[in-house]
Structure 1
Amino acid sequence: MRADAQENHDRVLRVAAQAFERDGTGTSLKAIAREAGVGIGTVYRRFPTREALVEAVYRQEVDRLCASASSGTLRAWMERFVDFMATKRGLGETLRAALTSPEEKQQTRDQLRSAIASLLASDPSVRPGIDPNDLLMSLGGITLIAAEERQRELASRLLDLLTEGLQE
């Protein structure tokens, strides 16, 4: 991809992510194109359907979340995970339609487990033998609580308890 095309692609994804979080996935693709400073044809060339754009936004956000595991603490990453999951809920039915194959879902879980394994291995205060999948499932439960904005503070307190339980 040419540099300018890559820049447009990245800008469309960034704007779409913000629009989906703010207004839901029903946001007009024309509005996304306009805000990104590209024509609607550019959006459709890269993302032929709304579902393709939603999936691309989701994949980019998962990649970012997992990449952030290499810089920072386990506790900070868990906060980012909770926030990510709250944002993902805004993608709702459109995301469920886009991620139809079990392989796609498994790929995401594997990516998250790998990030968690890396964080666990790099934190000397964590007791040995923590299964990354167990931690992922625990975080999933906490994100259900954080789904309601009024419960975000409770989710942070639960992350504190989880973090203490991980300590040696």
Structure 2
Amino acid sequence: MWKRLDHQPKIKAGDGPQAGQFKELSSARGPVMPHPLELAEFQSFQVLEDISHHIKEVGGQLVKKVNAVFQMDITKDGKTILQWTIDLKNGSGDMYPGSARLTADTIFTIPEPVFMELVLGKMNPQKAFLAGKFKVSGKVLLGQKLERVFKDWVKF
């Protein structure tokens, strides 16, 4: 939002603001997601891209086994830094950045360090969920099917 610094009583046609006549009052809220160049800083971004490539290769098989849409909200300091959707319900499967285009069956809200431990198999997902390390909304039991996808990716 801008505020005029000088107060001209009359403005003639063709007169526009001159340089320095406006000052910024407040900055607009920044986007929820970081700038694309900053995404490379997050380990989870690189992992999610790898999983995305894997899903593009074997998605058809996974759709038959999983039949669900998952949304992953990766957080840092309580703020969402990454959001990805894993669609293993439609077509030959897909994984893309952003919120689910269709209704997600399950939404995971996971701090980045916990996400990394989960996908690398260093943490048991059920124990982590019960310990409150991440949140799940929607069909919680479908998370077990997603665990298989991550295990397949780790072997890949």
Calculate the TM-score normalised by the size of structure 1: 0.27
Larger radius of gyration: 2
Taking CA–CA contacts closer than 8 Å with sequence separation of 6 or more, which of the two structures ends up with the larger relative contact order? 1
TM-score computed with the length of structure 2 as normaliser:
0.29
Greater helix percent: which structure?
1
